[in-house]
Amino acid sequence: MPETVQEKKKVIFSAIQPSGTITLGNYLGALRNWVKLQDDYNCIFAVADLHAITVRQDPKSFRQNILNAYALFLACGIDPEKSPFFIQSHVHTHAELAWILNCYTQFGELSRMTQFKDKSQKHADNVNAGLFTYPSLMAADILLYQADVVPVGVDQKQHLELTRNIAERFNGIYGNTFKIPEPYISQVGAKIMSLQDPAKKMSKSDENSNSWVAILDKPDVIMKKFKRAVTDSEAVVKVGEGKDGINNLIGIMSAVTGKTADEIAIEFEGKGYGDFKTAVGEAVVEEVRPIQERFNDYINNKDYLVEQYHKSAEFALKLSQRTLSKVMKKIGYVIP
Ligand code: TRP
């Protein structure tokens, strides 16, 4: 398995929930950067399926969503030979350390998590204990691998901050046990906004499906969504104040083609928004086309997927067991 993990590169850990839809925003804002990080860091990635049941899941679509997320990540360029990429529930140390960390996390701290407050309002009929202790499981994910850095979006920054506090607290009681992880702030990560309300982040939970583009959307659907994108009445393809819609489209075009906003403005000088929207749609279709092709190959090759997630889980189990044993010894457990 990955030789590279033995070297002195820094360790990155990150995970995503198997939500069913990976949007262009997820891809350009996060996923594509993970792919690039694989050479410079020892990356360890997971599909966070334990986290996912804090909200109710339909068993059939849940199983499919986990596999789809796995295949899509491979299709985007995550290489499990380089970066172990496993399914969280396959590695039992996560649930075990999460229980332990729960006992070193305060009720008050968890009560202050904004995601808990938001989600318990949204799912008022199912405010379960898992939703409340979700951040301790996330802390376990990260601390098990002694991660140096964790790429997270703004919505997860508070959880990472809590992870650091839990680790420092544990180290304070028992001596140095956990590496204190730093957030990874990407220099290139584009923030992709809704196509219908560009003041909001692109999100697949938005009821208006025209506001987001999924990586697996068909080309004609992608084109339609871009053609309907909200713009302004100025009709000049140039970054400007009060032009959130166009700024967002320029941002997407720039992220996909590598051209700067200025180069794009020059290229589309004198052209209308209609032409520009079509061009952005086409550029996105070209970007996702090879990903979609690879996704179809992977999802139809179950044996390959199974082989990859098995190997990665085995590797992750060994590595994480070192940390878990250390933790259990320090607490005073009788080692079996
Ligand atoms: N909670 C994260 C999210 O919903 C996913 C996640 C689980 C994660 N464990 C993690 C992210 C560890 C970073 C590190 O997006």
Closest-CA residue to 28 (of 283, 224, 241, 279): 283
The region, left, alpha or beta by phi > 0 then psi within -120 to 50, assigned to residue 57 is beta
Closest-CA residue to 251 (of 239, 242, 234): 239
The separation between CA 66 and the C-alpha centre of its own chain, rounded to angstroms, equals 14
Q: Which of 83, 97, 138 to mutate to test the pocket of ligand 1 (most atoms within 8 A of CB)?
A: 138
**From the CB of 147, is ligand 1 less than 6 Å away?**
no
Class of domain 11-190+302-331: alpha beta
Among 3-17, 147-161, 218-232, whose mean pLDDT is lowest? 3-17
**From the CB of 34, is ligand 1 less than 6 Å away?**
no
Structural domain spans, the chain:
11-190+302-331, 209-295
Structure tokens at 333: 């457990």
**From the CB of 119, is ligand 1 less than 6 Å away?**
no
In this predicted model, what pLDDT tens digit does every residue of 19-61 receive, in sequence order? 878 999 999 988 898 999 999 999 999 999 999 999 999 999 9
Question: Do the first three CATH levels of 11-190+302-331 and 209-295 match, i.e. the same topology?
Answer: no
Residue 328, burial from CB neighbour count under 10 angstroms (0-12, 13-18, 19+):
middle
**From the CB of 14, is ligand 1 less than 6 Å away?**
yes
Q: In the chain, at which residue ranges do the beta strands (DSSP E only) sit?
A: 11-16, 42-47, 85-87, 149-151, 182-184
CA–CA distances in Å: residue 245 to residues 1, 128, 231, 283: 46, 38, 5, 17
Which active-site residues does the annotation give? 119, 201, 204
Atom of ligand 1 nearest to the CA of 152: 13
Closest-CA residue to 12 (of 167, 151, 144): 151
What mean pLDDT is predicted for residues 271-285?
A: 97
What mean pLDDT is predicted for residues 279-303?
A: 98
CA–CA distances in Å: residue 147 to residues 42, 104, 158, 177: 9, 19, 17, 12
**From the CB of 17, is ligand 1 less than 6 Å away?**
yes
For residue 5, how far is its CA from the centre of ligand 1 (angstroms)?
21
Q: Which of 159, 163, 184 to mutate to test the pocket of ligand 1 (most atoms within 8 A of CB)?
A: 159
In this predicted model, what pLDDT tens digit does every residue of 56-111 receive, in sequence order? 999 999 999 999 999 999 999 999 999 999 999 999 999 999 999 999 999 999 99
Atom of ligand 1 nearest to the CA of 13: 14
Q: What b/e string do you get for 213-226 counting C-beta neighbours within 10 Å, with b at 16 or more? A: bbbbbeeebbbebb
Largest CA distance in the chain: 75
Instruction: Work out the mean pLDDT of the chain and round it to a whole number.
Output: 94
- DSSP summary character for residue 27: I
**From the CB of 142, is ligand 1 less than 6 Å away?**
yes
Q: How far apart (Å, rounded) are the C-alpha atoms in residues 36 and 29?
A: 12
Other C-beta atoms within 10 Å of 126: how many? 13
CATH for 209-295, among 3.30.465.10, 1.10.240.10, 1.10.10.10, 1.20.120.80?
A: 1.10.240.10
